[in-house]
Amino acid sequence: YPTLPGQSTREGDPICDRFYLHLLHNRLLFALADGCNWGPRPLQAAQNATSSLLQYLSRKHHKFTSLNRAGRYLLRAFGHAHNGIIFGKQDLFQAGTATLLGGLLLRLHSPEVC
């Protein structure tokens, strides 16, 4: 991002993009968020969304025994990410917004496809 003329800050500070990876023995959990707009609220939304999603997946990854099961836990993780964004806010409009991408790469030991 460019530096603002006459200032020491960059255009768009704080940068509201966040990513987290959790590398395990045979799987990878990830979260990538782009805080919508600039400023502290989108930054906090992106941070809370990514950390909440990965905290949930990190606690539940041992239960991913099929694609269906992994998909259900991934969907629940997005619910936890949403709750992480709005946690502690007395009014939902106090929370920032973020676009979140999360997922996992894993090897399943069952021959099940779906």
User: How high is the pLDDT of residue 35?
Assistant: 92
Residue 113 has pLDDT above 70, yes or no: no
Q: How far is CA 88 from CA 43, 44, 46, 68, in A?
A: 15, 12, 15, 32
User: How high is the pLDDT of residue 74?
Assistant: 96
- Cα–Cα–Cα angle for 11, 51, 101, rounded to 5 degrees: 70
Report the alpha-carbon distance of residue 69 to residue 62 in Å, rounded: 11
User: How high is the pLDDT of residue 112?
Assistant: 58
Contact 108, 62 (CB under 8 A): no
Computed over every residue of the chain, the mean pLDDT equals 89
Average pLDDT over residues 81-96: 94
Report the alpha-carbon distance of residue 97 to residue 46 in Å, rounded: 7
Report the alpha-carbon distance of residue 93 to residue 41 in Å, rounded: 10
pLDDT digits (tens, 9 = 90+) for 15-54: 788 999 999 988 999 999 999 988 899 999 999 999 999 9
User: How high is the pLDDT of residue 1?
Assistant: 67
Which residues of 1-112 form beta strands (DSSP E)?
A: 17-23, 27-35, 98-106
User: How high is the pLDDT of residue 5?
Assistant: 80
Predicted TM-score (pTM) of the model is: 0.84
